[in-house]
Amino acid sequence: MSRQRIIQIVLFAIGILVLAYFIAGSGILDQYHIIATVQIPLLLVAIVFSLANIGTKIVRWRYLASAFGKDISWQDAGTVTISSFFFANITPGKVGDLFKAYFMKKVHGMPLIDGVSMIFYERFFELVILFCTASLIAFTALEQTTLLVLEITLILLAGLLFIYFRLETVIRILQPILVKIPVVDISAGAGVKIGRLPPVKILAVFLISLISLVFEFLRLGVVARAFGFMIPWLDAATSFSLSIIAGLVSQIPLGVGITEGSLAYLLRADGCPPVTAMAIVLTDRLISMYFALGIGLIFSKFALDRMKNEER
């Protein structure tokens, strides 16, 4: 077993233990009947927001493909986007998201570096929006741990910007390593040209990413209301953003344990009872992240089959 695989398993195990700790400490195991109090109509609305979020991400990937010169079908856009929910979330730091670039290379003949650039635009704008939204918590209660998470995110954003605008230099430095990776089509001594989008298309990607995350904010707010907790919409957005950032910083696959624990803590800080907070968190994660992971696993087979058909 490779060292990377061992690290991945250890991190995931730590996350599971952390999640178990928060669940046990919340008291929900003794008051599990609270799950039955959920208002089904509101829960269905939350599920619709979750599906809308997925649909928006499909739209974004198809738009990015078009911006980089590849008009792909809605079927391919859906297949690669949904399957990436599985590959990205089972790996630390969502490195598995690179599968999308590999898919575009094998199925549509897109240079791998263009696929990576598409992923960059997705991730960078998501981080920017999450960071800006989470930063709003500074106007209410900024604790030392919260400040640390925001500082790490800001450093990450600065690093992404530096790498993007100096990507040719970074690839040149890493070229002796990259040429040994089978899926990377960068030959030794070859020049690297990065395709960058014009401002109008960058703005379009930003707006699509914003819409996608607004659906996430709305979903959490509706789930909270389904359990009778009337959280302010802005608080739902800031709590969601900060918990997702905390999960990303932890490098634990799915952010399991860290995301749930931090979100439950933030809900409790807003006045939500511990048991209700954990019920909200578990329900929200079930109809968003774990639902996406499940359909991602199913669609990953379709994506791999599509790639195999192209090789024949």
- Which of residues 309 and 55 earns the better pLDDT score? 55
CA distance linking residue 284 with residue 11, whole number of Å = 22
pLDDT, average across residues 167-195? 49
The proportion of the chain whose per-residue pLDDT surpasses 70, expressed as a percent, equals: 77
CA distance linking residue 18 with residue 261, whole number of Å = 8
* The model's pTM: 0.83
Q: How many domains does the chain have?
A: 1
Cα→Cα distances 72→107, 148, 204, Å: 10, 41, 18
- Which of residues 93 and 59 earns the better pLDDT score? 59
pLDDT at 279 over 60: yes
Query: Which pLDDT value is given to residue 190?
Result: 44
Which stretch, 14-23, 68-77, 123-132, 303-312, has highest mean pLDDT? Answer: 68-77
pLDDT in tens, 65-91: 999 999 999 999 999 999 999 888 777
pLDDT at 310 over 90: no
What domain range includes position 280? 3-311
pLDDT at 27 over 90: no
Worst-scoring range by mean pLDDT, 171-175, 227-231, 305-309? Answer: 171-175
- Which of residues 170 and 68 earns the better pLDDT score? 68
Q: For residue 176, what pLDDT band results from cuts at 50, 70 and 90? A: low
Q: For residue 232, what pLDDT band results from cuts at 50, 70 and 90? A: very high
C-alpha torsion 296→18→160→167, nearest 10: -70
Half-sphere exposure for 176 (CA within 13 Å, toward CB): 1
